[in-house]
Amino acid sequence: MDSRLSRESIADRERNSGSVRDYVVVILIAVACVPFIVANFVIIINCNFKPVKTRNASLTVMSSLGGLIWLGATIVVNDHFERREHTVWTICPLWTFWLQACFGFALWLNCMTLHLVRLYILLIRKKNLDKRNNVEWITTRLLLLLSPTIVACICATAFRAIRFKAQLSPVKEAHRKGDCEIQKSVFSAILISLLPLYFVIFLGFAFKLRNIMAQYNEFRQIRNGGIMSLFLYLLYLVTLQTKLYIQPVGRCFIALSVAGAVFYYFWARNGEIVYNVLFNKLEYEKKFLDDLNRSSYRQSELHCDSMRRSTQHLLHELKEDVLQLQPQISQLAEQNQSLKQSIHDLHNQIKISKYLHLGTSQEEIQASKRDNVDKISEIHLMSLPFERNEIFEASTS
């Protein structure tokens, strides 16, 4: 028992929850959250304001909510303050799986993916986004993306993959302090391996949008947010392997990195809009609409130019085809003339035969006429394609 107590006390000294560094970092993050939350309320209030509406206020606020949940859960899970048993802080599946992984990091990252999906639909598929701006469309897509993580969290909670373990103490305490410990690591491994799936989806849409140059294309800011999330995911794997989060410096660095990613992504996309909504709303809206109209006019001009170039290219190809077929058309025209001459000669022969065969019987004359008529009809049918070629040659010339 004494040796176990000594090991627990050594681990507690190494963790040193609630140190001065921890409180300083938590206070700095709390102060930074105040303008962050105020800016999100500004976006909600002005959700119908044209510059805000184009960036989808609902998806922006959901992304901010996921970032705040991820940041708060990181502070709790990394023990920036002591956790006592029989309190809400000791519900380990809630903080580790549900809030930190599922409705924190995964929600924040998938909101960025949905921003890319909207840009893909608008700029590549050339479809309207009116039906894709409502909360119902966004919520269903987010739940679809989060469904693998939700199932993994349900299984981990049901099988008690993580539990709170209170430290042994020689003195009886009503609420002993302790920490969460993984009991079944297979569920944690499954959950961690699911997160790269979201990076694959994100990178797939980012690859399709990489060459799109358009007005108000947010691809660059969203791409930077995805790069930061990938860096933090790898950083988290390193801290789990090296147990760096146990030391105050390590967990403070992780908390500041998460806060920096969440706050940077939000202000890089929405800082200018929030400032102008508060201090320069009317002029900013007028400038936004003017830029949007100019951009639409430029896009229509580019489309007309491309249509004109394609039409000219098609006409050039048709002229080349006509020139290549010109010798054949001339040859067919000559054959047509010779066939017409043959028809004329046959008509003359029929007229002559009327005088030369006066002494023949009426039946023989009628039979001769029928033979000549059949020949003329046959020659006439053969000449029809050549007459059509003459018409085609006249039209092309």
Same structural domain, 254 and 346: no
Q: Is 114 helix (H, G, I), strand (E, B) or coil?
A: helix
| Tally of CB atoms within 10 A around 198 | 22
Q: Check whether 165 has a pLDDT greater than 60.
A: yes
Which of 69-73, 334-338, 370-374, 388-392 is predicted least confidently? 388-392
Q: Which residues share a beta bridge with 162?
A: 182
Q: What would the two tokens of residue 157 be?
A: 């909670």
**Whole-angstrom distance, CA of residue 131 vs CA of residue 118:** 11
Looking at residue 15, which CATH number applies to its domain? 1.20.1070.10
Tens digit of each residue's pLDDT (9 = 90 or more) over 243-286: 777 888 888 888 988 998 899 889 988 998 999 999 988 888 88
- Hey, how many other C-beta atoms are within 10 angstroms of the C-beta on 362? 7
How much is the pTM?
0.70
Domain boundary among 221, 255, 279: 279
pLDDT band with cut points at 50, 70 and 90 for residue 9: very low
For Cα atoms 273, 274, 277, give the angle at the middle one, nearest 5 degrees: 85
**In-domain check, residue 307:** no
Read off the pLDDT of each residue in 351-378 and give the average, rounded to a whole number. Answer: 58
Give the pLDDT band of residue 397 (cuts 50, 70, 90).
very low
Q: Which two tokens stand for residue 358?
A: 């006066």
Per-residue pLDDT of 14-36, as tens digits, reads 456 778 889 999 999 999 999 99
Could you tell me if residue 298 is inside a domain? no
- Residue 291 covered by a domain: no
Does residue 198 belong to any structural domain of this protein?
A: yes
Question: Would the pLDDT of 79 be above 50?
Answer: yes
In this structure, the answer to whether residues 229 and 125 fall within a common structural domain is yes
Are the CB atoms for 195 and 105 separated by under 8 Å?
yes
Residue 292 in any domain: the answer is no
37 domain-assigned:
yes
Beta-carbon contacts of 110 under 8 Å, excluding residues fewer than 6 positions away, are 142, 145, 146, 198
pLDDT digits (tens, 9 = 90+) for 373-386: 565 565 555 555 54
* DSSP code, position 88: G
Same domain, 48 and 134: yes
| Orientation of helix 219-242 relative to helix 107-123, angle to 10° | 150
If one counts the domains in the chain, the total is: 2
Task: Tell me if 396 sits within 8 A of 326, measured CB to CB.
Answer: no
Domain co-membership, 333 together with 387: yes
The Cβ of residue 80 has, within 10 Å, a number of other Cβ atoms equal to 21
Percentage, residues of the chain above pLDDT 70: 75
